[in-house]
Structures are given as C-alpha cells and as structure tokens.
Amino acid sequence: MRIGIVSETYPPEINGVALTVHSLAAGLTKRGHSVDLIRPRQSQPHDDEPGIEVLSMRGGSLPHYPGLRFGLPAGRKLSQHWRNHRPDAIYIATEGPLGWSAMHTAMRLGIPVSSGFHTRFDSYADHYGVGFLAPLVRGYLRRFHQRAVATLVPTAALAQELRSMGISKTRLLRRAVDTQLFHPDKRDNHLRGSWGVNATTPVVLYVGRIAPEKNLDLAVQAFAAIRQRNPKARYVWVGDGPARAALQEAHPDFIFAGMQRGEALARHFASADLFVFPSLSETFGNVILEALAAGLPVVAYAEGAAREHLVDGVNGYCIASGNAEAFVEAAAKLASNPGLIRHMGRAAHASMAGLSPDAVICDFETLLRHMAEENLHEHLATAAHA
C-alpha cells in the first residue's frame, strides 16, 4: 500500500509525538509499504530513509518552543500532490493548520483518513494563562477528530475521555518500546562519574519537555524531600523547554543534560536509579515505558502509560492523580532504599518484555488496510449503481 502520513512534528525534532510517528512510518516501510510523509520544512537537515518520500511544507515556529514547527494550511498543494500520487489511506498525527487542511483535502478527494490523538492541548491552556480558551480548543479537537474514520489512542482510559468529549470513533493502538535500546545493560559508569556520583549515590532522572504543563514544581518538591534523607542525591534533567532557564538559575545543583536521543538517551536512562515523573497532562508518556525498560522504578500519577503499566509497589509507585503529598512521600521512600530500587528495577525491566513494536505496527497496518478496502468497496458499489 501507499500510506500518507501527515505530521507537524518529526525527527530530528525530539518529542514523544515525533518519535512515535517516525516509529510508525519506519515500521510500515519494513513491512513493504511506501510512506508519503507530509511535514513542515525544517532548517536542520534530515536523513533520507528508504521507503519514505518526504514532501516539505511551509511552516512557522511554535510559540515557547522555537525548536518545533507547525505547518501552514496547504490544501491546494496537497490536492495536487495526492491527485498525482494518490495514497490508499492517510494517517494525520497532529491537529494543526497543516493537519486540518490535510483532513479537508483528503475527505474532498475521497481518501480514507485516520487521526492520532497525542496531546491534550485543551489542558495546556491553564498552564499558559489562557484557561478561558480551553472550551474552544476542545471544540476544535472534537470537530477535527470526528471527521476521521477512526481516531487512534494509546490507552482505554483516553478513549473513554474522548468519548465523553464527543469524539466517538476511537480505536486503541497501544504503544511499544524498544527493549533492546532501552536496557539496564546500557548503564555507563563514566557517565555517572561525569555527574559526580559513585555507585551508591541515588540519581533521580527527569526526561521530557521542561515546561509548565509538566508540573515541575512537584518534581522539585519531591527531590527536596529526597535530599532531606540523602543529601548526596543528584537530579539529572534531560530535555529542554521554556522553563529550563529559570529552573537552572534557581537550582544550580541540578544537572541539565539537554536533548538526548538514541544510544545517548538510553545511557542516561540506564545510568540513573529512579524516574520521577509528576506530569498530569500526558495522553500517554512514552518516557515511562523507556524508563521501565531501562530498569528504573517509576513514580508517577495514575495517568496515561503509568495507569496502564505501573503496578503500585511492584515496578514503581502509581499515585492517585493530584495527591501531591503521596507523590513526594513515594519518591523519598524509594530513593532512600537502595535494595528496593534494585528489586523494583528488575521488575520494571521485566514488565516491558511483552511490548513488541512489531505487534503495534501490525495492528496499524491492519487498520489502514481495512480502511483502504472499505473505501474501495464503497466506490465500486457507487459505480455499480450509477
């Protein structure tokens, strides 16, 4: 099949959506399909990948995230492109201006479309002082996704949330993790040495956007409680974002490693001791799976991936959403018990063993194939009655 994928974020950008979309595209090509990737033009070059044809569109910088882009509407260019190179089915990963025009164009051309729900943009409004816009954002998201044949979501809980918003045609597509890349064997004593720690020093890790919607004040509060019990503990931050500069100035003892990916990211995960993730705004949270696969016990709220994959007291602590006191206590308790860290770390790695990327790609392929076949049958039926 020829599969169209539209995304306003894609590597070399580093974020959960970009990496998930890349994994889907690369997985389809490995199964013999050709991928027609539509994305905003980037200043940094990207590597050509076999089977993935890239059409770059005009875009702009995302406010507060200068490293990320959004695509501008491109209905006329998309229409011409898809008339000349018609895909069998299209997956639209993002709901920005490019995604909206792609949805409208595909429907006008009679090409079946599925969409992906990756980010609760409506919940971000409060974090940026424009909470009054949340109902408008929810309305936009509802109108966008209701036009798709199916909206793909990573958890059953999110599917239920979207149905309550009026997005009824949800379809579960679980996430996977590369357990060969993210593995305890990637632990790097030289990296730990660069952090100024020895084998017995607990290292707390944060990976993700360093931004207000990630509930970073609670992360800092939890580490302060850890430090009260073990003053030598260190906090390593991987990522970047609009809150980094202020956080770095306020906490010069924190270690900021910047953006990491691939083997370097895997080493950072495996070289830490526990993963403390206080976000309440995640639709999933790929980093939780990566931390577990790397053998790190996780402390997180019962949202997204944590709700699906954390077993409280076994591979980490899954805290009732919003219970900040319990979150801080769990992080401090775990960080002060090396034996518990090791025990939970082994369980964490084992808990990810069955999450096969191949199974996820197979499910994605099956959905797209059914969409294409149903669309073909509809066209044949219409032609027969004409």
Q: Are 30 and 24 in contact (CB under 8 A)?
A: no
Q: Are 288 and 275 in contact (CB under 8 A)?
A: yes
Among all chains, which residue has been given the structure tokens 């202020």? 246
pLDDT-based confidence at 43, cuts 50/70/90?
confident
Q: How far apart are CA 333 and CA 140, in angstroms?
A: 43
* Sequential DSSP letters for 193-209: HHTT--TTS-EEEEES-
pTM: 0.83
Task: Report how far Cα 109 is from the mean position of its chain's Cα atoms.
Answer: 30
Lowest mean pLDDT among 25-29, 75-79, 103-107, 137-141: 137-141
Q: How far apart are CA 297 and CA 303, in angstroms?
A: 16
Number of Cβ atoms within 10 Å of the Cβ of 296: 30
Residue 42 phi/psi, 5-degree rounding, is -115, 155
pLDDT-based confidence at 118, cuts 50/70/90?
confident
Indicate the residue type of 23: S
DSSP 184: G
Q: How far apart are CA 352 and CA 357, in angstroms?
A: 11
User: CATH homologous superfamily for 184-351?
Assistant: Glycogen Phosphorylase B; (3.40.50.2000)
Q: How far apart are CA 214 and CA 194, in angstroms?
A: 27
Q: How far apart are CA 168 and CA 118, in angstroms?
A: 16
Contact residues for 315 (Cβ-Cβ < 8 A; gap 6+): 292, 297, 298, 309, 344, 347, 348, 350, 351
Q: Are strands 59-62 and 65-71 parallel, antiparallel or unpaired?
A: antiparallel
Q: How far apart are CA 146 and CA 370, in angstroms?
A: 18
pLDDT, one tens digit per residue, over 325-365 is 999 999 999 999 999 999 999 999 999 988 888 888 999 99
Range(s) for CATH 3.40.50.2000 in the chain?
A: 2-176+356-384, 184-351
pLDDT-based confidence at 182, cuts 50/70/90?
very high
pLDDT-based confidence at 243, cuts 50/70/90?
very high
User: CATH homologous superfamily for 2-176+356-384?
Assistant: Glycogen Phosphorylase B; (3.40.50.2000)
Structure tokens at 276: 């403390």
Alpha helices in the chain (DSSP H): 16-30, 75-84, 97-109, 121-127, 134-146, 156-165, 189-194, 216-229, 244-250, 262-271, 286-293, 304-309, 324-335, 338-351, 357-384
Structure tokens at 117: 């729900």
pLDDT, one tens digit per residue, over 271-305 is 999 999 999 888 888 999 999 999 999 999 999 89
**Whole-number pLDDT of residue 379:** 63
